[in-house]
């Protein structure tokens, strides 16, 4: 049982494994996973106003406008209340980081540093169950039955923004916008970087780091 409330942000390029590592953090530490991308994709499926607005931006690899995103994410964080969480996909630029900083005290930033060539190869094989956000990867974590979600048995889909031309645009945008955000967090001594090519080498280091941080090692 962890008593201290811990607020972490996970940062990394598209396909770096933020969702994968966050799932393990949820299972090991019981934190809540707040993923901006999952929230948007669920809204697209439900055809909400937010989903309708976000769809075009996501499909073309652009960011959803800041006002929409900050409103959505701050509402979700408020709903979560006083619980430990791992924030994935937000903030995405300096404007969003400023708004988050005004609202929340972040305890740690986990930065996943994965080479772009690894990422480009990976996302070609990514399949998702969009309603839940569950993610699979052929040859890494295959579904039990090909093409079907393990829990619901519903069909898996590929993300529209995983097309190679959209992925390269997302990677470029990431480098451009997240450099200043990382620098801002680094100045405050919050960033720990995990460099590697595979989740199996990165996860044990993240787990150790968090155990030490929450003083339960």
For residue 154, give the DSSP letter: P
Catalytic residue among 24, 53, 76, 126: 126
Residue 134 a catalytic site member: no
Contact 127, 26 (CB under 8 A): no
- Please give the distance of CA 208 from its chain centroid, rounded to a whole number: 20
For the chain, how many residues are written? 217
For residue 148, give the DSSP letter: B
Between 21 and 214, whose beta carbon lies closer to Mg ion? Answer: 21
Contact 22, 182 (CB under 8 A): no
Shortest CB 4 distance to ligand G5P, Å: 26
Interaction pattern, residues 182-211, with ligand G5P; x per rule: CB under 6 A: ----------------xxx-----------
Burial of 173 (0-12, 13-18, 19+ CB in 10 A): middle
**195 labelled as ligand-binding?**
no
**94 labelled as ligand-binding?**
no
CA–CA separation, 208 and 217 (whole Å): 7
**42 labelled as ligand-binding?**
no
Shortest CB 19 distance to Mg ion, Å: 3
- Which active-site residues does the annotation give? 18, 92, 126, 159, 170
Residues in contact with ligand G5P by the rule CB under 6 A: 12, 14-20, 36-37, 40, 57-58, 61-64, 69, 89-90, 92, 96, 122-123, 126, 135-137, 139-141, 161, 170, 198-200
């Amino acid at each position: 049982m962890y008593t201290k409330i811990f607020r972490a942000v996970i940062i990394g390029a598209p396909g770096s494994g933020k969702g994968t590592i966050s799932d393990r953090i949820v299972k090991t530490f019981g934190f809540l996973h707040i993923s901006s991308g999952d929230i948007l994709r669920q809204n697209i499926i439900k055809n909400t106003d937010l989903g309708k607005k976000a769809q075009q931006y996501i499909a073309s690899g652009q960011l959803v406008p800041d006002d929409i995103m900050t409103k959505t994410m701050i509402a979700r964080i408020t709903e979560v209340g006083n619980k430990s969480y791992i924030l994935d996909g937000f903030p995405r630029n300096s404007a969003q980081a400023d708004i988050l900083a005004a609202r929340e005290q972040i305890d740690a930033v986990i930065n996943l540093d994965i080479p772009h060539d690894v990422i480009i190869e990976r996302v070609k094989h990514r399949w998702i169950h969009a309603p839940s956000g569950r993610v699979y990867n052929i040859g890494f974590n295959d579904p039990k039955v090909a093409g079907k979600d393990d829990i619901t048995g519903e069909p898996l889909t590929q993300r529209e923004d995983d097309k190679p031309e959209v992925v390269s645009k997302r990677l470029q945008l990431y480098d451009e916008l997240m450099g200043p955000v990382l620098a801002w967090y680094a100045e405050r001594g919050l960033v720990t970087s995990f460099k590697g090519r595979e989740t199996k080498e990165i996860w044990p280091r993240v787990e150790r780091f968090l155990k030490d941080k929450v003083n339960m090692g």
